[in-house]
Amino acid sequence: MQIEIFALCDAATADFGKLSMLGAFDTIWVPKTPVVHPQCAIALRARFEKIERGEHKVLVHFVDADGKNVIPPAQGVITINFPEEQSSGSAHLILNIQGLNLQRLGEYSIDLAIDGQQKASLPLFVKERK
């Protein structure tokens, strides 16, 4: 399995085998904290080989610098199936987040595990606008 895209963005959709993302970012500038970021999305595109067909458990943790959950962990299952003549297939997963409550400045982490193994991590920096 290979993670082709793992991004925090303003919005994402997946239609007809296409992943579309708008406004990928890693920093939010705020006048003060706590602050509520109105909307964002975590977008994932993963590629699987023939031997990896079947179900895969996906887990996403969004945590602050102390390891506390910012949102409840998101978990689910993706089923990988593609035509026999293809050497690989891809899967898309989008996690839409409304009203992201950020309590303080600093670094946050979005961690991705598939089948119980850490596969990717994204930082989110919350900085004060001066």
Is 2-128 CATH 3.30.479.30?
no
Cβ atoms 47, 90 nearer than 8 A: yes
Kindly report, residue by residue over 86-130, the tens digit of the pLDDT.
Answer: 999 999 999 999 999 999 999 999 999 999 999 999 999 999 998
**Domain ranges across the chain:** 2-128
Q: Which residues pair with 102 in a beta bridge?
A: 35
25 pLDDT band, cuts 50/70/90, is: very high
Q: What is the pLDDT of residue 130?
A: 82
Q: Under 8 Å CB-to-CB from 105, ≥6 apart: which residues?
A: 30, 33, 126, 127, 128
Can you give the pTM of this predicted structure?
A: 0.93
